[in-house]
Amino acid sequence: MRTVIFAVLLGAACAASAQLYRWTDDKGRVHVTDTPPPPSAKDVRKRAVDVTPAAASANQPYAVQLAAKNYPVTLYTAPECAPCGFARALLNQRGVPFREVSVSNEQQAEELKKSVGSLSVPAITVGTSVQKGFEQGAYHALLDNAGYPRTGILPPRSQAEPKPAPPAPSGDAPPAEEPAVGPYTPR
């Protein structure tokens, strides 16, 4: 049993980092491989390559990297909000990387109000552009204008609804207002 666990852990460690070799053969040609060079190789250089999920974001197409840098997407939602789920599904289906803030405490409500101007969810910010409520055409227009690829070009994502924040410690603080659900137009 210990051998099996060790093998699984070793495989996970190998998957998290890789080794690249740069070397010159006897004819002066430069090679870059992930396998060790032959003994006759000259000028051998090893380089570790990080292939963890954080490094995988750099493997996204340049258009997505540029759009995410210039027009980051933030989706504001509330727990058990059906239109919020539709908004999340649209972003996932389109393959857009986004940050989701599930508004469930006063601090998150303040962030929503500062970013969007109200406590209406769902709401999305794409760079400095804001859309309150879920309207499929408006979401697509914001993403198109920011340069995100259309649906079907990127692989779909599977970002799930964030877990609710732990309840605030009981004390003298009044309970936070529950955000209102914004307009919803099915498409």
Q: What is the pTM of this model?
A: 0.60
Q: How far is CA 12 from CA 7, 8, 18, 178, in A?
A: 9, 6, 11, 43
- pLDDT band of 8, cuts 50, 70, 90: very low
CB atoms within 10 A of CB 145: 13
pLDDT tens per residue across span 151-186:
888 889 999 988 876 665 655 555 544 444 444 434
Q: How far is CA 16 from CA 48, 50, 53, 155, in A?
A: 10, 6, 9, 21
pLDDT tens per residue across span 65-113:
999 999 999 999 999 899 999 999 999 999 999 999 999 999 999 999 9
Residue 121 exposure: Cα atoms within 13 Å on the Cβ side? 29
25 three-state secondary structure: coil
Contact 65, 166 (CB under 8 A): no
- pLDDT band of 11, cuts 50, 70, 90: low
Contact 134, 185 (CB under 8 A): yes
Q: Which amino acid is at 142?
A: L
Q: Which amino acid is at 154?
A: L
Number of domains the chain is built from: 2
* Co-location of 45 and 105 in the same domain: no
Q: Which two tokens stand for residue 111?
A: 């962030």
CATH number at residue 108: 3.40.30.10
Q: Which residues form the domain of 68?
A: 60-165+176-185
* Co-location of 18 and 90 in the same domain: no
